[in-house]
């Protein structure tokens, strides 16, 4: 099938590969393919993945502590390692999509793997022999920790889900944005809203997971909760496959890692060559798809045409001399690394909402009348905040910012990230203050304060995620080379992964450095607030470094002016487009809400 060709042909084949095709491999009919309907069907797969993953991660710590009798710190590390692995495997999914399979096949295959993983998890939590006996209150509340055999199936299931989820997450947003033509002014403007709507949509799945699924897991049975997740994933795969005739496909261009390695290798190997007197002498300068930039000038040597490279047959050999386009693509990837490094700590902070904050809720008063709210369901306030802030950004913040910036985006991707980092710092300060108050009442007054005191930290971190996630996703996709879109999404997901892994590392280091005084299974005897203060201080340092890198970053394309360059007709079209988009948005949200219900 044409859609899975490796794309290792000549330049003409490479150019053709950039043009979208339909599922038969023919040039697309834009009136019948792509657009919001196709993108909405694709997002259904990510919605299903989010229902599964959030339904697991947001309540898994209570299962590990309460049913499997693991310690709080060990349980937190199990959750963060699972989430870290899921996101780091996004790099693998992105590589396979860009190198050989294409985004469509990669999403379809890995979604099926995720469905298998959730099915295994359903079995792991339903079979009685996979769970240790309940704690015996007559023996000083001694509990038998789950054995390695009992944990084996659980770990196999979790990491199968991680493999499937990684392949989905790194490609579904890129495949969705492929449904819009960046060269078409109307579709290009629609694509600007795609990332906000993408995250709004999957947050609906998260909201369903932390309310309905968490309640079912705690009150009906883990097996029932995870069984619903498995069925949701199967439905997501079916919806994706059903929409195949409506999609626009872009054939894979070959492994982007090979291009990166080749340019770096040639630049080092040819480091003793002299720079040409003018960059126009670089290989294929006049046919380059990306303009030459002076940054990382040392890489230009990979495209210097010396006598050997100019010999017959050698000029077209990529292992002898690179093209200027390839060199500039590698430069674009390298420009992402500084911002990437400063995005990691946000997700270290965010991971606390999945682990210690949920554990805090178990030590607080969760009663509402005669009903006790499950600890994991307090994540509802995290995701409702994300939905509200994402909607506010699209309908209020961005239009308001346009009046001052005169750009289509209104708020740049890095400005969004910066706001998210600031809110993460504020979230940790709020967490520390609440935890200190909670422990004070529990130890000195013997009472439990209301778990609703956790709402401010969920609200602040949730608002931060609404800015940071959309900003990072937009930054890594729009600033990366076109042929490396899936890999750049995997690079973005690796910031989440590293954030979770660093959280596990910090928990381990802090546990040993404090000799177990800061982090204990019994939070009333711990000093969790000190851990939160430490994260707040690290966040301030990280934000200052981010400001330095962001100030030096040069965007690939400057946003087009809406006011100074737009004619009256442009503005009229803009208003008409916005009205159409509002109707489309209501349709998408309504459809997804019905599916969730």
Please choose, from the candidates 483, 484, 502, the residue with its C-alpha nearest in 3D space to the C-alpha of residue 492: 484
DSSP element (H, E) containing 199: helix 185-208
Q: Identify whether the C-beta of residue 122 lies closer than 8 Å to the C-beta of residue 45.
A: no
> Partners of 450 in the beta sheet?
365
3-state DSSP assignment of residue 167: helix
Both structure tokens of 1: 């099938």
Residue 542 predicted with pLDDT over 90: yes
Distance CA 176, CA 35 (A): 9
Q: Measured over all CA atoms, what is the biggest interatomic distance in the chain, rounded to whole angstroms?
A: 87
Q: Are residues 443 and 543 in the same domain?
A: yes
Residue 426 predicted with pLDDT over 90: yes
Q: Are residues 101 and 203 in the same domain?
A: yes
Residue 589 predicted with pLDDT over 60: no
Q: Are residues 248 and 262 in the same domain?
A: no
Q: What percent of the chain has pLDDT over 90?
A: 8
Q: Whose structure tokens read 């209020």?
A: 396
Write the DSSP assignment of 333-359 as a string of letters: HHHHHHHHHHHHHHHHHHHTTTTHHHH
Q: Are residues 267 and 194 in the same domain?
A: no
Orientation angle between helical segments 485-513 and 72-96, nearest 10 degrees: 160
Q: Are residues 261 and 246 in the same domain?
A: no
Q: Are residues 290 and 352 in the same domain?
A: no
Please measure the distance between the N-terminal and C-terminal CA atoms of the chain and give it in whole angstroms: 37
At 259, is the pLDDT very low, low, confident or very high (cuts 50, 70, 90)?
confident
Q: Are residues 176 and 86 in the same domain?
A: yes
Distance CA 137, CA 143 (A): 9
Residue 475 phi/psi, 5° resolution? -60, -50
pLDDT tens per residue across span 469-523 = 888 888 887 787 776 766 677 678 788 888 888 888 888 888 888 777 787 767 7
The per-residue b/e assignment along 490-526, b for 16 or more CB within 10 angstroms, e otherwise, is: bbbbbbbbbbbbbbbebbeebbeeeeeebbbbebeeb
Structurally, the chain folds into a number of domains equal to 2
Question: Of residues 193 and 584, which shows the higher confidence score?
Answer: 193
Distance CA 483, CA 99 (A): 9
Please give the DSSP secondary-structure letter assigned to residue 368.
E
Question: CA dihedral defined by 439, 441, 442, 447, rounded to 10 degrees?
Answer: -150
Q: Identify whether the C-beta of residue 237 lies closer than 8 Å to the C-beta of residue 268.
A: no
Predicted pLDDT of residue 408? 65
Q: Are residues 480 and 569 in the same domain?
A: yes
Domain boundary among 322, 343, 360: 322
Predicted pLDDT of residue 3? 45
Domain boundary among 305, 322, 339: 322
pLDDT tens per residue across span 307-323 = 777 776 777 787 888 88
Other beta carbons within 10 angstroms of residue 132's beta carbon come to: 16
Range among 365-369, 400-404, 568-572, 581-585 rated most confident: 365-369
pLDDT tens per residue across span 112-127 = 999 999 899 888 888 8
Distance CA 168, CA 109 (A): 9
Q: Are residues 352 and 499 in the same domain?
A: yes
Global pTM reads 0.67
pLDDT tens per residue across span 40-81 = 888 888 888 888 887 787 778 778 877 787 877 788 788 888
In degrees, rounded to 5, the angle at the alpha carbon of residue 31 between the alpha carbons of residues 28 and 35 is 85
Q: Are residues 225 and 275 in the same domain?
A: no
Mean pLDDT value across the chain: 78
In degrees, rounded to 5, the angle at the alpha carbon of residue 38 between the alpha carbons of residues 32 and 43 is 175
Q: Are residues 550 and 461 in the same domain?
A: yes
Distance CA 134, CA 217 (A): 17
Contacts of 52 (CB under 8 A, 6+ apart): 114, 118, 161, 165, 209, 229, 230, 232, 233
Both structure tokens of 510: 């802090």
Q: Stretch 418-439: mean pLDDT, rounded?
A: 91
Domain boundary among 269, 294, 322: 322
Q: Identify whether the C-beta of residue 118 lies closer than 8 Å to the C-beta of residue 518.
A: no
Q: Whose structure tokens read 């010396």?
A: 306
Which CATH number do you get for residue 177? 1.20.1250.20
pLDDT tens per residue across span 558-569 = 433 333 333 344
DSSP element (H, E) containing 191: helix 185-208
Q: Are residues 154 and 169 in the same domain?
A: yes
pLDDT tens per residue across span 25-43 = 788 777 788 778 888 888 8
Q: Which domain holds residue 286?
A: 256-322
In degrees, rounded to 5, the angle at the alpha carbon of residue 346 between the alpha carbons of residues 342 and 348 is 110
């Amino acid at each position: 099938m044409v859609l899975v060709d490796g794309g290792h042909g000549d330049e003409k084949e490479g150019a053709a590969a950039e043009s979208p095709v339909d599922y038969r491999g023919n040039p697309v009919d834009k009136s019948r393919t792509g657009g919001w309907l196709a993108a909405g069907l694709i997002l259904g797969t990510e919605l299903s993945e989010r229902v599964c993953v959030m339904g697991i991660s947001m309540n898994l710590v209570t299962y590990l502590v309460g049913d499997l009798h693991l310690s709080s710190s060990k349980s937190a590390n199990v959750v963060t390692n699972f989430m870290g692995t899921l996101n780091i495997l996004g790099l693998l999914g992105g590589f396979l999509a860009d190198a050989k399979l294409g985004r469509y096949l990669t999403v379809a295959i890995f979604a099926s793997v995720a469905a298998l993983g959730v099915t295994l998890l359903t079995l792991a939590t339903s079979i009685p022999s996979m769970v240790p006996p309940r704690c015996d209150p007559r023996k000083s509340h001694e509990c038998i920790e789950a054995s390695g055999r009992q944990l084996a199936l659980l770990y196999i299931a979790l990491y199968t889900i991680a493999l499937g989820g990684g392949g989905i997450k790194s490609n579904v947003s890129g495949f969705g944005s492929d449904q819009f033509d960046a060269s078409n002014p109307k579709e290009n403007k629609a694509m600007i809203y795609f990332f906000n709507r993408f995250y709004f949509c999957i947050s609906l799945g998260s909201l369903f997971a932390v309310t309905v699924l968490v309640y079912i897991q705690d009150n009906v049975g883990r097996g029932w909760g995870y069984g619903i997740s498995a069925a949701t994933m199967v439905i997501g795969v079916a919806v994706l496959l059903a929409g195949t005739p409506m999609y626009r496909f872009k054939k894979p261009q070959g492994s982007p890692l090979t291009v990166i390695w080749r340019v770096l290798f040639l630049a080092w190997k040819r480091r003793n060559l002299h720079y040409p007197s003018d960059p126009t002498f670089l290989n294929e300068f006049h046919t380059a798809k990306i303009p030459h930039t002076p940054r990382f000038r040392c890489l230009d040597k990979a495209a210097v045409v010396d006598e050997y490279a100019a010999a017959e047959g050698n000029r077209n050999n990529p292992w002898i001399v690179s093209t200027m386009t390839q060199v500039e693509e590698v430069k674009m990837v390298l420009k992402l690394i500084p911002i990437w490094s400063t995005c990691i700590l946000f997700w270290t902070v965010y991971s606390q909402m999945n682990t210690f904050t949920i554990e805090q809720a178990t030590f607080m008063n969760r009663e509402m009348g005669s009903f006790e709210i499950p600890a994991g369901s307090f994540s509802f306030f995290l995701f409702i905040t994300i939905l509200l802030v994402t909607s506010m950004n699209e309908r209020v913040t961005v239009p308001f910012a346009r009046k001052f910036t005169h750009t289509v985006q209104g708020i740049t991707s890095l400005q969004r990230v910066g706001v998210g980092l600031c809110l993460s710092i504020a979230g940790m300060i709020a967490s520390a203050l609440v935890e200190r108050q909670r422990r004070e009442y529990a130890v000195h007054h013997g009472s439990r304060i209301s778990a609703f005191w956790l709402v401010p930290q969920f609200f602040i971190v949730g608002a931060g995620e609404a800015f940071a996630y959309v900003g990072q996703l937009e930054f890594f996709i729009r600033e990366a080379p076109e042929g490396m879109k899936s890999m750049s999404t995997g690079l973005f997901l690796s910031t989440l992964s590293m954030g979770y892994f660093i959280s596990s590392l910090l928990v381990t280091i802090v546990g040993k450095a404090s000799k177990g005084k800061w982090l204990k299974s019994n939070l009333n005897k711990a000093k969790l607030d000190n851990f939160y203060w430490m994260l707040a201080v690290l966040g301030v340092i990280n934000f200052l470094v981010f400001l330095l890198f962001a100030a030096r970053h040069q965007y690939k394309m400057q946003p087009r002016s809406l006011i100074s360059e737009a004619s009256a007709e442009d503005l009229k079209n803009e208003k008409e487009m916005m009205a159409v988009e509002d109707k489309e948005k209501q349709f998408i949200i309504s459809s997804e809400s019905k599916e969730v219900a």
